[in-house]
Chain A
Amino acid sequence: NAGVTQTPKFRILKIGQSMTLQCTQDMNHNYMYWYRQDPGMGLKLIYYSVGAGITDKGEVPNGYNVSRSTTEDFPLRLELAAPSQTSVYFCASRPGTSGVADTQYFGPGTRLTVL
């Protein structure tokens, strides 16, 4: 198993550009998450999904969109990049076993800079 993979690893965007951060998991997990990590701020939840076709907002969804058309993929879309979106983005997944606090697995992250 490759686990959770994210592409690209690094990206520099200009203000107003758009891009999609890719996230794929090969563990057949139901739940998937997008977080952003800013220095000294911990991780903030952007969006999450409990299964294909179902997504919901997290704590900081403004400026982002997601879709979940398959179990494996959970792309994060930035439509109009702003400097405030400079951050490290992590995708995570977990099985979603009912009644069990199963383990969340994280990808290696995408480091995004908006100039």
Chain B
Amino acid sequence: AQSVTQLGSHVSVSEGALVLLRCNYSSSVPPYLFWYVQYPNQGLQLLLKYTSAATLVKGINGFEAEFKKSETSFHLTKPSAHMSDAAEYFCAVSDQGYQKVTFGTGTKLQVIP
């Protein structure tokens, strides 16, 4: 069974600073990996996904993530935080059958002016 672990339920960064949200996965087979964002009182929206093509994946709103098999990690980064990035971020994993997706517990990002 697949699983993901998100380190840090809350992360605070200053506006303009680097955003780094950590995700480690566990999978016995090559996984699909996803990052979703949830703004208050809304559903989830896909930021980016890894599907075994390029290991560096670029997503919307300037976010990117790098798949590192040796570290079983898929950390999300953005060079410069913006106030509008304040939201909750979820890492998720699926096997390549892709019937079910397993979500992490989420990381709330606070951006300080």
**A residues in contact (CB < 8 Å) with B:** 4, 31, 33, 35, 40-45, 48, 50, 58, 90, 92, 100-101, 103-104, 106-109
Q: Given A43-B90, A48-B100, A101-B51, verify A108-B42 contact (CB < 8 Å).
A: yes
Please, how many angstroms separate the alpha-carbon atoms of A51 and B96 in the complex? 19
User: Contact at B104–A42, with CB atoms within 8 Å?
Assistant: yes
Q: Does B46 contact A (CB under 8 A)?
A: yes
**B residues in contact (CB < 8 Å) with A:** 9, 32, 41-46, 49, 51, 90, 94, 96, 98-106
Contacts of B102 in A (CB 8 A): 45
Chain B min CB distance to A58 (Å): 7
Chain B min CB distance to A112 (Å): 14
Contacts of A31 in B (CB 8 A): 99
Total A-B pairs, Cβ < 8 A? 50
The 6 A-B pairs of least Cβ separation, nearest first, read A106-B43, A42-B105, A43-B103, A101-B51, A42-B103, A106-B44
Contacts of A106 in B (CB 8 A): 43-45
Please, how many angstroms separate the alpha-carbon atoms of A24 and B39 in the complex? 22
Starting from the known contacts A90-B43, A101-B32, A101-B96, 13 additional A-B residue pairs (CB-CB under 8 Å) come to A40-B9, A40-B105, A45-B102, A48-B100, A92-B44, A100-B51, A101-B49, A101-B51, A104-B44, A104-B46, A106-B43, A108-B42, A108-B43
Q: Given A101-B51, A101-B98, verify A42-B42 contact (CB < 8 Å).
A: no
Please, how many angstroms separate the alpha-carbon atoms of A44 and B45 in the complex? 16
